[in-house]
Structure 1
Amino acid sequence: MTIAPIEIPAGWDDNDIVLFEEFCSLIRTPQRTVRCWRVQEHGPQWRRFNGTGRLYTTVADIRRFIRAGE
């Protein structure tokens, strides 16, 4: 079994926003697992739109998270 590395599309800018669901798909990890990471303060930094809306992170935060795991 081969595991493909997680790659961020070349056209994504560091300031681009990635929604929680998109992040889970990108790293091929169940949402439940990523929610547990949030509680344990692992993974990228998460923010909410207007402080109460949907969760999002930035491409720069995702890149830092991926590099830390290498």
Structure 2
Amino acid sequence: MNPIDVPTEWNDSALLTFEEFCALIHIPQRTVRDWRRRGVGPRFWRFNGTGRLYTTVAEVRRFTNPVNASR
């Protein structure tokens, strides 16, 4: 299995859509929806209560490399 590579030049506060996140980690959207339902995986937010789901680059880094998240 290949490690997930989040580019180092990406700003931690930048936003990724749900779809972009799924493409980045090469996981089907259905699987990530199941993770959300079970409370697993990165945190996602909706702005104004509706519309697209977003996560931050920092949250993706925390999720993909939990060992370094506390540094």
Common fold, TM-score beyond 0.5? yes
Summarize the Cα distance change of 1:33–1:69 in structure 2 as closer, same or farther, 3 Å threshold. farther
| Percent identity over paired residues | 56
SS in 2 for 1:7: coil
Q: Could you tell me which amino acid in structure 2 is paired with residue 64 of structure 1?
A: R
Matches of 1:69 and 1:45, distance apart in 2: 17
- Superposed CA RMSD: 1.6
Matches of 1:69 and 1:27, distance apart in 2: 18
Instruction: Name 1:66's counterpart in structure 2.
Output: 64
Stretches of 4+ moved more than 6 A in 1?
A: none
Matches of 1:69 and 1:20, distance apart in 2: 23
Any unmatched runs of 5+ in structure 2?
Answer: none
Q: Deviations over 1:2-27 (max 9, x none)?
A: x3210101221110000000000000
Any unmatched runs of 5+ in structure 1?
Answer: none
SS in 2 for 1:10: coil
Count how many residue pairs are aligned between Structure 1 and Structure 2.
68
Instruction: Name 1:41's counterpart in structure 2.
Output: 39
* Structure 1 residue 53 displacement after superposition: 1.4
* Structure 1 residue 52 displacement after superposition: 0.8
When normalised by structure 1's length, the TM-score is 0.88
Instruction: Name 1:29's counterpart in structure 2.
Output: 27
